Amino acid sequence: MEILAFGVQADEKPLIEKAFEGHHDVRCLSVFLSEDTAPIAAGYEIVSTSVNASLDHRVLQTLAAGGTQMIAQRSTGFNNIDLEVAERLGLTVARVSYYSPYSVAEFAWTLAMAVNRRIVRASNRTRDFDFRLDGLMGRDLRGRTVGVLGTGKIGEAFTRIAHGFGMNLLGWDVAENPACVALGMKYVEKDRLLAEADLVSLHVPLLPATRRIIDAAALGTMKDDAILVNSSRGGLVDTDALVTELRAGRFAGVGLDVYEAEAGLFFLDKSLEIVEDDTLARLVTFPNVVVTSHQAYYTEDAVGQIIDTTVQNVLDYTAGRRGENVLVPRTA
């Protein structure tokens, strides 16, 4: 059987091909699955997709009409898939429920330190042999307060690093993580966390209850010189409201690895095009903002685990087994 994999990065292609070797053939495409590209999947029983694929009812109907029966998503998040429609069409859907939490947690700290210590500005200056320190002053993190929204596996890994810095730990989640409590984390209401934290990092999934959890009111609660980091999902932050606050001169720094409207932009080269997204265009102009293109997960370790799990999900499907990563089970 040949599997069609959409949205495969150049670095991923040899890893995916090697992982499937001896099991199934795989055809890797760099294009992302969307309404325009879905017809390519005609004749493929199994399709593998990336986090920025669009699997709404139109795409799923096209896949099902073309003979696709199984979707193996190479990510933990699945808010891009209409699971109800998939079930109605008889499509099996699986995801990657776990990969290295350290990849994302460490990158979140990379963003935090980059904006705190003005690394991007300093690097750009030294390329021009400008070695002044004006405007590059940061702050020690030791003794300051970090607020972690979402203390699951990634949030816990982020908290352990914060503990190593000697920070005061505040957490917010639907349930307390005993490992974080053991590190000294104090769980508080979200508004208190936002009001007291010098650094806020987001590690909650994107759900209806968390969409734009950082809205205008939440941003208004934060300290004027706070740092905000989002390495989870773009939809957690009301970006227009964030731009409004930044224009008012608020926040010491903002590090974003994700963006509300990143689909159709992130993972693609748009350098020779006019980007029509005015919000993103304004966002990247602020000197205290660093935007990266959803790369927090992108380490050899994490990508290797994602691919290995995807292969196992496919093998479970072809063997008629229901694995632990199945979101919509096989109906026949």
**Considering 12, 156, 245, 262, which one is annotated as catalytic?**
262
In the annotation, is 260 catalytic?
Answer: no
- Residue 166 CA to chain centroid, in angstroms? 26
Q: How far is residue 223's CA from residue 20's CA, in Å, rounded to a whole number? A: 49
Q: How far is residue 192's CA from residue 291's CA, in Å, rounded to a whole number? A: 27
* DSSP per-residue string spanning 86-145: HHHTT-EEE------HHHHHHHHHHHHHHHHTTHHHHHHHHHTT----TT------TTSE
Nearest-10 Cα torsion for 251, 257, 259, 263: 170
Compute the C-alpha angle 172/177/178, nearest 5°: 135
Q: How far is residue 204's CA from residue 98's CA, in Å, rounded to a whole number? A: 14
Q: Token match 């002044």: residue?
A: 132
Residues 6+ apart with CB under 8 A from 22: none
Neighbour count for residue 260 (Cβ, 10 Å): 20
**Considering 233, 245, 250, 260, which one is annotated as catalytic?**
233
In the annotation, is 45 catalytic?
Answer: no
Beta-bridged to residue 256, according to DSSP, are: 230, 291
Strand order in the sheet with 70-73: 25-28, 2-5, 46-49, 70-73, 92-94, 326-328
Q: How far is residue 19's CA from residue 50's CA, in Å, rounded to a whole number? A: 16
Active site residues: 233, 262
